[in-house]
Amino acid sequence: MPNKTFFWFFLPTGLAMILFIGLPIISTGIQSFYAQHDQIVKEVKKCDPFGCTVSIVVDNEETSKIREAKPLGKFNGFGTYTDRNHLAVEEIKKFWNETESFGAFIDQVTNLPFYKALIFTLTYCLFVTPNVLLLGFIIALSLNAVARKIRGPLIFGTILPMIVTPLVGSLVLFWMIDSQGIIGANIQNLMNDPYLSLKSSKTLTWITIIIYGIWHHSPFAFVVFYAALQTVPQEPVEAAIIDGASRFQRIKHIVLPHIYPVVTFVALISLMDNFRVFEPIIGFSAEGSAQSLSWLIYDNLVNEEVILFGSAAATSIMTIVGIAILLAPVLIRTWKEFRIAR
């Protein structure tokens, strides 16, 4: 396609992307450099049905004057990025100087909210993405091998986890693993420990969320792989059979190289999705044991009665940077292949 044609094809999409993705990201970026103005408070008498007390309120007259002059807030530079609830630069320096062993240092760092969330997010990505690829591929291969008659219903059944709304899917599992639920109660019986709870143990909660993630995302990989498998040319496969290649060899040397670009694509999308893990944490009420970066943003925006726009914006920007870093190796590789192909 000539560059000019491509440009006109891409223009509407490009404009929409700038309008709905580009500009909001820029505005989020700007927001992350600002903090609220210093609060001007005054002492007043407050009375309610239980009596009167003297305490403080925000002086709205004074505050609104400052707000009108500088509606964005107080410029804070990278202040929000480096504070304790984000990168915690000073705290980490302090821990490094104070702790005696490396293990103690790591303990202290992983106790900070941002790093706690980062570790969960990365663990989730690391376990879910490869398993999704593997499971999706295995399902696609097996379904490709069954008789055409029953393939339709089987495919529908397989993509069900993706059709089910994430929140509903996680809630169903949440109730099943309740200590009174079918899975939870049976595990208690098996282990002979009435105090065992999948929901109160951090490790078990993580495992549950990861298994849920694999269950939920595999159908996506499966659908794409299944479509790709339909394009595998039959001649080389037949030739390989005549040459006496085993099923495993055929997959390794013919099928996989053929669908390799699709594998890269699924890996990319799945990494991006997994890095933004959020719904299962809400669905499983797992806020206590597992926090992800997306959950931190949500927490800053809605969980408190005071909305922390600066904090949420800073975490959002760092999430974008995180995704970019994760995707960099794959993107660089694709780019190199693209250049060689040209």
Partner 1 sequence: MRKILVTLLFLFFGTSAFADCNIKSGSINILANDFPALRTFVETSKQCKGNAEFKVTHSSEHNKIAVPALTANPSEFSARIAANSSIVPLMNQDLIRPLDDLVKKYGKGIQDSQLITIDGKVMAVAFMANTQHLYYREDILKDMGIAVPKTYEEVVAASEKIRASGKMQHPYAAAYKAGWNLAEEFVNMFIGHGGEFFKSGSAEPNINNAKGVATLNMLKKLSELSNPDYLTHDSEAIKVEWESGNVALMTLWASRSGTLLDDEGDPNITKATKLAGPATVGGGNIPAATLWWDGFTLAKNRSDADADATFRALAHAASNKKMVADAADQAVWLVEGFVPGPKSIGVIEAVKMKAKPYPMLPQMGLMHGALGSEIVEFLQGKESAEQALKDVEAAYISKAKEQGFL
Interacting residues toward partner 1 by CB under 8 A: 35-39, 41-42, 44-51, 55-58, 60, 63-64, 74, 76, 80, 83-85, 91, 111, 113, 174, 178-180, 194-197, 199-200, 202, 284-289, 291, 299, 302-308, 310-311
Cβ 53 to partner 1 shortest distance, Å:
8
Shortest distance, CB of residue 161 to partner 1, whole angstroms? 23
User: 269 is written with which tokens?
Assistant: 């999308």
DSSP H helical ranges for 111-201: 113-145, 148-163, 166-176, 182-191
CB of 263 to partner 1, least distance (A): 37
Question: In terms of CB distance, is 4 or 45 closer to partner 1?
Answer: 45
Nearer to partner 1, 37 or 276 (CB): 37
285-322 b/e (C-beta count within 10 Å ≥ 16 → b): ebeebbbbbbbbbbbbbeeeeeebbbbbbbbbbbbeeb
Residue 196 or 268: which CB sits closer to partner 1? 196
* Nearest approach, Cβ of residue 74 and partner 1 (Å): 7
| Pairing, β 34-35 against β 41-48 | unpaired
Phi-psi region at 24: left, alpha or beta (left = phi > 0; alpha = psi -120 to 50): alpha
CA distance 163 to 167: 11
Q: Give the helix/strand (H/E) hosting 239.
A: helix 234-242
From residue 271, alpha-carbon distances to 135, 213, 267, 320, 338 in Å are: 15, 12, 6, 12, 21
- Three-point CA angle 118, 29, 109, nearest 5°: 25
CB-nearer residue toward partner 1: 121 or 270 = 121
Query: 45 forms bridges with which residues in the sheet?
Result: 54
List C-alpha distances in Å: 80 to 24, 32, 84, 193: 19, 7, 9, 45
Nearest-approach distance from CB 198 to partner 1, in angstroms? 8
Measured from the CB atom, the residue of 142 and 200 that comes closer to partner 1 is: 200
Which residues share a beta bridge with 185?
none
| Smallest gap from residue 323 Cβ to partner 1 (A) | 24
Select 199 or 250, whichever has its Cβ closest to partner 1: 199
First-to-last alpha carbon distance for the chain, in angstroms, is 13
Smallest distance from partner 1 to CB 103, Å: 15
Pick the closer one to partner 1 by CB: 178 or 273.
178
